[in-house]
Structure 1
């Protein structure tokens, strides 16, 4: 059976798959440095002529985490109150989490913590389900004699896919939704959660297949693939993290133009989106680039299924052969 490959939320170019070696990397780096030097000399700032894909690639690369054991349990820790992940020591963060979770240091020796300065979050990886459950219950930590509120939750490890259903009754909380959704008719469903107070529910499925329909109790809903949005902060106006984990909450940009007020009274300037370069606030609904990339699972699974069919003329090929011929990201949105 051919190996299944899934790429979620990353835009992979054919040049990256060809693997031309360090010479291509060095050439690209030299061209990038030359462009940065020219922009610095001319004193130009980000404008509508900037390439949006360059911003998306930079944010995606900086947000990518290193490979962690698939057998581990992952816990996402989102700090609040202006805690800057880049300015904190991961050792002190893990020690504070251990104390807040009431775990002995001897049982956390195999745990791993990875800070992500772009998203301003921490990721804890542990082989112990007990430790993961304890970490996910933490609501605040103490650093340098100061209490910081955090939001911690479990994240499924391994190969998973996400789907979305809409129009679900808003009086159902997450516990009730999971009781109604996790049933034999939805055999691959692992869990679900609601987006704030809306009728939209995000579901996580085991494997690469997202069903077209799911059962919520006795009601059947149409299920679509989840499209991940680029994280944007309406507090500081930066791209890469969300508003609830902003490291500089005191730096507030204008709600209308998205620029930092420099005069009193403030005169709004023309907004410039950091994702597409057009004249609107960063990450608004009309932005064409606010979705990073549609989940590639369905495309890759289709390619693997077609290639795995028995043929007398040609033997099965590796599924990676299909990756350079995948549709353009814009065609999927």
Structure 2
């Protein structure tokens, strides 16, 4: 398809002679394309690393969800063991670990009630044993390895400080002293401080001090020099072997891996003195920096440590309660809402410059209103007693608002003292108390009714059992008595034995055995009668107790009913008094308005002047 356009026709030689120039945009894109092609792979890797670093966002370290561990007794000695051999203590049989500890310490087993208590921490991969005896604790501290089954596990066993101890740091205070010398000097130089530990922090020049008490002191004497003591915040334990938080590398239960501690990839670490080529990745916050770096804001486990630097009001006094809005006469509600919370910079002042003049005018108007309101409020509070409030007094249009020394009316002092002393001074509180007592009495009554129903069911069961026993006794008594054989005369010739049937024999039961059976039946009947008498007495006592409880409950309900009626009467009295007072107020206001309208002085009943008794 051919298309005709406007222009000049040129030849093929003119088109291909190289005199044509591309557009500036095309030249810029071509130049950029050539530069990108000529870029080295190292620069590309650096750019990709920079882009990846910008995409990393720090976040708090993940916390493993687990239940709380059982607490060890506080009055015992705690011994902690960290394995030096890669092993997961949670997968070891607990009884084998306990027996291995006893065998390594050369200690006998104790009775089950007084055994040493062992606990395995699943996150830190450590064990803690609670020992009530110092001799056994010293034996456990001498352990260096355990033989669990066919495995030999090396352990580092130590006694940690108490749970309620505080730790502080003395920066740049180490000078070739052993840990025992450091602790001895701290204890002798500070006899008033309960110092329980002092050692060098790893290979640094800082000294870690552990002490008991309520707070951490600011200064401590060490080798004759007062050194500043700062609170110690432990770091989040991070493992460079499994790249997880909660335990250190030396106690990791997983096998050792040859991975980079900087990025976590499976390649040898960068030699010292060589510029690393991999991208750093923090184990704690997953940020683009090295683990435990000063750039990580989540590297410390910050807990509130009491210190004597803080004012005593923070420890001994309660925070001041919020005052009512009627006493805040220095700022308006709008300005109070614009204030930032404590501890944050006042960003509202910086951003308020860009707001419109209308908003400023509105603020000034609200400030003026709040000032006028605060002045009236302060004047109201400074008077000895509250003033009567009329509908026009809030707007300042009342004619008597400008007269000094306002008069007090007879009703301005509130209800009489007799009503103030009565329980109706706070009717809402009394009503709530009555409702609460009524609900509690109802609950007690329902519980007593349930107990009565249970006792009635038990009485029915016992009655059936007694009836069955009486039936058995009646059947036993209703049996015909066994007649004794008649004595034989000596003169009579011996009687010939009668012929017995072939299938029967004569009973050989004697008279003594029959009398014994009769005596046993009589004793059983006496025992049953005594048991029935005892049961009747118990039933009578229980019934009397229940009847007394029901009577007490009824009396309590009657008392509550009478108290409620008295309260209602008092409330009605107070209501009548309020209505009468309101009518008197309205009448006085009408007379006052009439006197003001006709230019006559108001005839009011003057009360005592302010400030007079």
TM-score, normalization: structure 2?
A: 0.39
Quickly say closer, same or farther: Cα 1:308–1:205, change in 2 above 3 A.
farther
Structure-2 residue corresponding to 1:124? 129
Structure-1 residue corresponding to 2:287? 278
Structure-2 residue corresponding to 1:199? 205
Could you give the per-residue CA deviations for residues 183-232 of structure 1, whole angstroms, max 9, x where no partner exists? 26252211112222222121211123111111223232211101110001
Secondary structure of residue in 1 paired with 2:72: coil
Structure-2 residue corresponding to 1:110? 115
* Contact 1:237–1:259, Cα closer than 8 Å, also in 2: no
* Contact 2:146–2:155, Cα closer than 8 Å, also in 1: yes
Trace 1:279-318 onto structure 2 (pairs within 5 A).
279-298=288-307, 303-307=314-318
Secondary structure of residue in 1 paired with 2:196: strand
Unmatched 5+ stretches in structure 1: 1-46, 310-324, 329-333
Trace 1:77-156 onto structure 2 (pairs within 5 A).
77-106=81-110, 109-156=114-161
C-alpha distance in 2, partners of 1:118/1:185?
37
Structure-1 residue corresponding to 2:225? 219
Aligned with 1:52 (options 45, 60, 77):
60
Q: More helix per residue: 1 or 2?
A: 2
The CA deviation at 1:278 is: 1.3
Secondary structure of residue in 1 paired with 2:302: strand
C-alpha distance in 2, partners of 1:74/1:307?
36
Quickly say closer, same or farther: Cα 1:107–1:167, change in 2 above 3 A.
farther
Larger radius of gyration: 2
Could you give the per-residue CA deviations for residues 222-273 of structure 1, whole angstroms, max 9, x where no partner exists? 11101110001123322111122121242232133123459xxxx9764432
> Pairwise CA RMSD of aligned residues?
3.3
Aligned with 1:185 (options 167, 172, 190):
190
C-alpha distance in 1, partners of 2:66/2:306?
22
Secondary structure of residue in 1 paired with 2:204: coil
Quickly say closer, same or farther: Cα 1:155–1:241, change in 2 above 3 A.
same
* Contact 2:189–2:222, Cα closer than 8 Å, also in 1: no
Secondary structure of residue in 1 paired with 2:283: coil
Q: More strand per residue: 1 or 2?
A: 1
Quickly say closer, same or farther: Cα 1:92–1:295, change in 2 above 3 A.
farther
C-alpha distance in 1, partners of 2:171/2:111?
42
C-alpha distance in 2, partners of 1:63/1:252?
33
* Contact 2:90–2:125, Cα closer than 8 Å, also in 1: yes
Q: How many residues align?
A: 261
Could you give the per-residue CA deviations for residues 119-140 of structure 1, whole angstroms, max 9, x where no partner exists? 1111111211222222122111
The CA deviation at 1:77 is: 0.5
Quickly say closer, same or farther: Cα 1:257–1:164, change in 2 above 3 A.
same
Quickly say closer, same or farther: Cα 1:307–1:93, change in 2 above 3 A.
same
Higher relative contact order (CA 8 A, sep 6+): 1
Quickly say closer, same or farther: Cα 1:82–1:308, change in 2 above 3 A.
same
* Contact 1:236–1:252, Cα closer than 8 Å, also in 2: no
* Contact 1:215–1:221, Cα closer than 8 Å, also in 2: yes
C-alpha distance in 2, partners of 1:301/1:229?
29
